Amino acid sequence: MKRFINPDKSTWKSLIKRSSASYDSLEPLAKSIFKKVEKEGDLAIRGYTLKYDKVQLKSNIVSSDEISTAAQRIPKKLKIAIQKAKNNIEVFHKAQITSTVQVETQPGVSCWQKKLPIEKVGLYIPGGSAPLFSTVLMLAVPAKIAGCNKLILCSPPDNKGMLPDVILYTANLCGVDYIFKVGGMQAIAGMTLGTESIPKVDKIFGPGNQFVTVAKQLATKYQVSIDMPAGPSELMVVADKTGNPDFIASDLLSQAEHGPDSQVILVTNNIKIADTTFEKISEQLENLERKVTAQKALNNSKVICFDNDKDMLEFVNLYGAEHLIVCLENETEFVDLIKHAGSVFIGNYTPESAGDYASGTNHTLPTNGYVRQYSGVNLDSFLKAITYQKITANGLVDLGPVVEEMAAAEGLEAHKNAVSIRLKTLK
């Protein structure tokens, strides 16, 4: 990790930069994959699975037998843990249910808003050496609570053409309707365009690498919406003398082990905390199975020391971290002034991994500074709001002249006539 002491504000822009490929550099590949999937359907999907996942599949559909066999292999202790996490996630997301909003804006003019579920949603679950079955919980649980009609899940197969048992178990537990052994850009293309086997969806959810992120962005050009442009994971820890270096080191490493393109940052006003955290990282790193991956991420990560809380807060808001841990003596005051973050973890005993798995909040969050525009996945992500209005005759008599005046001012005569004709009948 590189260290910076009271960096001049002119350098802050470079300090908040993430290492990620640009959309322009990956868009041609995404477009070619989408075009081929649109033309050839499942045949193209199988071809890309062979090319990128190094396995030839007769079918990319996960059978009910595969699901039941996988469930039998899951240890009871893990099943209990997953069910407990599922319950906490359900409790938090059910609390987000809102009732219909209805109001009479003026006598005789009633307006209301009702939320309805998005019918078909696609859930992308990254694979690789660390299959994120927890992401199945984070996406499928709120989708079911929202009332989505069809849940379609895609995840890349291993070199034997299988998905991890725990992903299949969790998906079945959460009520996913279709599970496919498809990953990468081709999975996003399949859910966007539809194939002989993969249903076309209305919205795509889920994290992924830079390739998946670009494919999701391309999907929006095909009338399919996405949750957010989420890319490589990131974590920022803000700590003063009250922070625990052992805890801080473990949190930084927990995100660094996600992948070599992950970024972790420690921001502190205490040099001793920085020095001791360095030592603890070195100690803990030696015992990690994913040591090589974590080390690569640490090479692109930073420790930034400031003299005062004001600069710390300003830098934290400028960076806009996906995950933000706050370990400060004045934590309440500091947290109240945070404007940009995906999810905030407060205090020494709130590890980021609790939010990743089981506290109840959603771990599907915007990265790369998109916290300024996007929220993390929540219940409303799976809903769409429709507005309604009903105007009585008396209501139109009062409101009509307002509409006529405004339509005339914009030069839209037909808009005015739609009101004027009605008012004439009422006279």
Question: What pLDDT is attached to residue 130?
Answer: 72
What would the pLDDT profile of 249-295 be if each residue is shown by its tens digit? 999 999 999 888 899 999 999 999 999 999 999 999 999 999 999 99
Whether pLDDT at 156 is above 80? yes
Whether pLDDT at 340 is above 90? yes
Span 315-333, average pLDDT: 97
Q: Is 322 a catalytic residue?
A: yes
The band of 205, judged by pLDDT with boundaries at 50, 70 and 90, is very high
The band of 21, judged by pLDDT with boundaries at 50, 70 and 90, is low
Q: Is 40 a catalytic residue?
A: no
Phi, psi of 210 (to 5 degrees): -65, -30
118 against 23, higher pLDDT: 118
Question: What pLDDT is attached to residue 171?
Answer: 98
Question: What pLDDT is attached to residue 138?
Answer: 98
Phi, psi of 325 (to 5 degrees): -100, 130
Q: What is the radius of gyration, based on Cα positions, of the chain?
A: 25
The answer to whether the beta carbons of residues 327 and 347 sit under 8 Å apart is yes
Task: Look at phi and psi of residue 143 and say left if phi exceeds 0, alpha if psi is from -120 to 50, else beta.
Answer: alpha
Span 60-68, average pLDDT: 97
CATH assignment, 392-426: 1.20.5.1300
Catalytic residue chosen out of the listed positions 93, 258, 323, 363: 323
Question: Domain residues of the chain, as ranges?
Answer: 2-19+232-360, 23-100+116-227, 392-426
Equal fold, 23-100+116-227 vs 392-426: no
Mean of the per-residue pLDDT values for the chain?
96
Question: What pLDDT is attached to residue 300?
Answer: 87
Whether pLDDT at 20 is above 70? no
Q: How far is it, in rounded angstroms, from Cα 49 to Cα 410?
A: 55
What would the pLDDT profile of 374-416 be if each residue is shown by its tens digit? 999 999 999 999 999 999 999 999 999 999 999 999 999 999 9
The band of 23, judged by pLDDT with boundaries at 50, 70 and 90, is confident
CATH assignment, 23-100+116-227: 3.40.50.1980
Residue with tokens 């199988």: 46
Question: What pLDDT is attached to residue 363?
Answer: 96
Whether pLDDT at 229 is above 90? no
Catalytic residue chosen out of the listed positions 322, 329, 340, 352: 322
Question: What pLDDT is attached to residue 266?
Answer: 98
Whether pLDDT at 231 is above 90? no
Q: What homologous superfamily does CATH list for 2-19+232-360? A: Nitrogenase molybdenum iron protein domain (3.40.50.1980)
Q: In whole angstroms, how far apart are CA 285 and each of 157, 279, 295, 334, 394?
A: 29, 10, 8, 30, 74
What would the pLDDT profile of 256-267 be if each residue is shown by its tens digit? 998 888 999 999
Torsion of Cα atoms, 332 then 336 then 342 then 347, to 10° = 0
The pTM of this model reads: 0.94
Whether pLDDT at 151 is above 90? yes
